[in-house]
Amino acid sequence: MERLLVAVAIVLVAVAVSQALRRRRPSDPPTQAAHSIPSQLDRRDFSEVDAPWLVAVFTSASCSTCADVAEKAQVLRSDSVAVEVVEFGARRDLHERYGIDAVPCLVVAGADGSVAAGFLGPVTATDLWAAVADAREPGSVRQADGCQGDTGTFE
């Protein structure tokens, strides 16, 4: 009987020590998404290399928000602004090349490929228009007070 009591006592001490150690150890922080927007594009990766501005919309066929963002971007198409929808299934290589891990991802790039603006997730037509207008003519849109300047097309 003494052996049984000693064994039970040892198990209880081990459990107590285990609990105390677990409480003292800090828990791992929650996983944080690290989605990012590319800062540079190689314009040769896209079909319309001659337009001064490129609006590239990285999408997925299974994403309903992507379709909405792509539709809003198409309105910006002009001689000065090329719009290209880069669907994951059709152009997985570009998604991987630019580290696109969340869609929709929209970027506005200049002729040299420098990204002037970008959006992850849904975007309003107003915000998209303002981003392209400000990229084309810096300072033409005041973020705090709303839009100022021309209210025409991007030609």
Each residue of 31-86: pLDDT tens digit?
666 688 999 999 999 988 889 999 999 999 999 999 999 999 999 999 999 999 99
Whole-number Å distance between alpha carbons of 136 and 116: 9
| Structural domain contains residue 26 | no
For 10-33, what is each residue's pLDDT tens digit?
888 888 887 877 777 776 667 666
**Number of domains composing the chain:** 1
Amino acid at 7: A
Reading the block at residue 77, the tokens are 């198409």
> What pLDDT sits at residue 149?
36
| Structural domain contains residue 2 | no
Average pLDDT value for the chain: 84
Residue found under tokens 């152009």: 91
User: Can you give the CATH number for the domain in which 88 is found?
Assistant: 3.40.30.10
| Structural domain contains residue 37 | no
| Structural domain contains residue 92 | yes
> What pLDDT sits at residue 36?
85
For residue 60, the tally of other CB atoms under 10 A from its CB is: 17
**Structural domain boundaries, residue 71:** 43-147
| Structural domain contains residue 29 | no
Query: How wide is the angle at C-alpha 122 spanned by C-alphas 48 and 108, nearest 5°?
Result: 30
| Structural domain contains residue 142 | yes
Q: Which residue has the higher pLDDT, 49 or 150?
A: 49
Whole-number Å distance between alpha carbons of 66 and 61: 8
| Structural domain contains residue 113 | yes
Q: Which of the 8 DSSP states describes residue 129? A: H
| Structural domain contains residue 8 | no
Q: What is the 3-state secondary structure (H, E, C) of 139-151?
A: CCEECCCEECCCC
Q: For the whole model, what pTM was predicted? A: 0.69
